[in-house]
Amino acid sequence: MLVIRPIRSSDLDALMQIAIESGHGFTSLPVNEELLRQKIARAEASFKKPAGKPHDEVYFLVLEDTETGEIVGTTAIEAAVGLVDAFYHYRLGTEVYHSEQIGVRNEVETLTLCHDYTGAAELCSLFLRENYRKDNNGRLLSRCRFLFLAENKDRFGSPVIAEMRGVSDANGESPFYGWLQKFFIGIDFIKADYLSGLGQKGFMAEMMPRNPIYTCLLSEEARAVIKEVHTSTLPALKLLESEGFTCRGYVDIFDGGPTVECDLENIRGVRDSQVYTVKISQALPEDGNKTIVANTRLADFRAIQASLVITDGSDEITLTPEIADALMVAEGDTVRLLSN
């Protein structure tokens, strides 16, 4: 069985391997053992912390194959970004130039460096190992976060954002970053992205252009990938769009990928999830629907995917002993459900 649970210190080696497999441009999981160790420690502390004003907490979850004990995926939510480390974006805008005298009007797209998402919650670190990219496992990894958000709203800022990985080639080079490297920063994309993942972002404030950038002055290759996503990221983007997320003109400062957002209360998976009381039976009806089901705990959060029968008007859900054990619930406990 595949079970979502909070990460723990014993998962370090598995997380390191996933960081290696995730490749260039996956900033939230740099290939650095000490940083990953610190991320796990921060997550463990976050799950133990009493509810309060969102700050620097991260709720990092892993997908475990309980038959093998292997960690096969990751997913996480940052409670409030930019309160400790600067959180940069480019904001797309438009400047208008108009002359009545010569009868000319021009609209020019601009990119302006900003911190507009400071305090927002962030969906991040979504990765599924290749052999498990089937059977809606990716949807489980992504949408289980909405059950966690729905149950713990006071722990997160709003809106909720997600940075979509932008276009880069097989060598990790970004067409969008090329002009920035040439005229401003002077280091390659892979190194800049790695330093950002380490939290070493001082060079951004020192070297990034301080004035709005006219996109018409960029290369054709750079302009073409603004707000575009990496091919491997397209399914994740489509899923978030179906949940109500949209891009409001913010893009990543390195690869130009879009950042999408949605108010926490308006996320479809948060709004539509329902709480049920558990009943346990040895067998379930055969006509169940694929459902994401999670317990309503914090440090012992568990979520799985199962075929369940949801009866209209009922506040009870029947689980098998196996499912109940995986979720760490007993009869009479509550679970939160979301159709998958």
- What are the structure tokens assigned to 146, written together? 């909405």
Q: What is the mean pLDDT of residues 269-291?
A: 89
Out of 1.10.510.10, 3.40.630.30, 3.10.20.340, 2.30.110.10, select the CATH number for domain 2-89+115-269: 3.40.630.30
Mean pLDDT of the chain: 91
pTM: 0.91
**Selected catalytic residue, list 55, 89, 98, 230:** 230
- Binned at pLDDT 50, 70 and 90, residue 27 comes out as low
N- to C-terminal Cα separation, the chain: 17
CATH of domain 273-339: 2.40.40.20
The answer to whether residue 230 is catalytic is yes
Tokens 């690869």 locate to 255
- Binned at pLDDT 50, 70 and 90, residue 321 comes out as very high
Q: Minimum mean pLDDT among 74-83, 148-157, 276-285: which range? A: 276-285
Q: What is the mean pLDDT of residues 38-54?
A: 95
Please report the pLDDT score of residue 279 as a whole number: 94
- What are the structure tokens assigned to 314, written together? 């009922």
- Binned at pLDDT 50, 70 and 90, residue 205 comes out as low
Please report the pLDDT score of residue 25 as a whole number: 54
| 30 compared with 338, residue with greater pLDDT | 338
Q: What span, in angstroms and rounded, lies between the C-alpha atoms of 57 and 59?
A: 7
Q: What span, in angstroms and rounded, lies between the C-alpha atoms of 146 and 132?
A: 21
Please report the pLDDT score of residue 189 as a whole number: 74
Domain extents in the chain? 2-89+115-269, 273-339
Q: What is the mean pLDDT of residues 60-83?
A: 96
Per-residue pLDDT at 24 exceeds 70: no
Q: Which of 251, 241, 264, 262 shows the shortest CA–CA distance to 54?
A: 264
